[in-house]
Structure 1
Amino acid sequence: MSQESLRRLRNATREKLGKFNRLRGREVEPGEFWDVVVVTAVDESQREAYELQIRQKVERRELPLGIHYKVFSDPPGHKIGNGGSTLYALQKLNDIYGRLWEG
């Protein structure tokens, strides 16, 4: 990667982190941040741990407020991998929000 590309990447990352820091601990307006933040977990135990971490971070005002944070564990049985987890999470979001997300 060229020095110019690295410089632009550093600046863009710094800008994004600054924006995120300004959103921490406050209610965000529609369109200002994501509508939903989704985390996938390999099993129920990991899902519970992630939910606890997210809940604690929200309580400490380390994350933007007013966002739907969702953690989905993979279905039981054979491991489905990252791609399978993503597709499963999208299906779960469709189950929850359905037509609200169309249009």
Structure 2
Amino acid sequence: MNTTHEGAWSEPKPPTAETQDIADKVKEAALKKLKQEVFFEYKAIEYQDQVVAGMNFKIKVQTTPMVMIRDVPYADIVQLDVYRNLQFEYSLTDATSLGQKQV
């Protein structure tokens, strides 16, 4: 049972098709914010949500380019902070690189 109260962030959850769709809606804004030209991979891997006057989302996205460190693949992880207003319009409020993660 979900016990998230208004204003509280949910526990981290596995992504859904809706999560990926939200991430896709703000992809261009994320590229601009992070000063990137392209993400070859752009896959939601985790999210949290928060009920406000609308909804806030924190979506962790695995992006490329992938790098190899000692023959082990790593990918960049980006956190997208997204706001959905009451008209179901999405806007990126922040995008932050969380560094690399072994994949």
TM value normalised by structure 2: 0.25
TM value normalised by structure 1: 0.25
Which has the greater radius of gyration?
Answer: 1
Structure with more helix by fraction = 1
Structure with more strand by fraction = 2
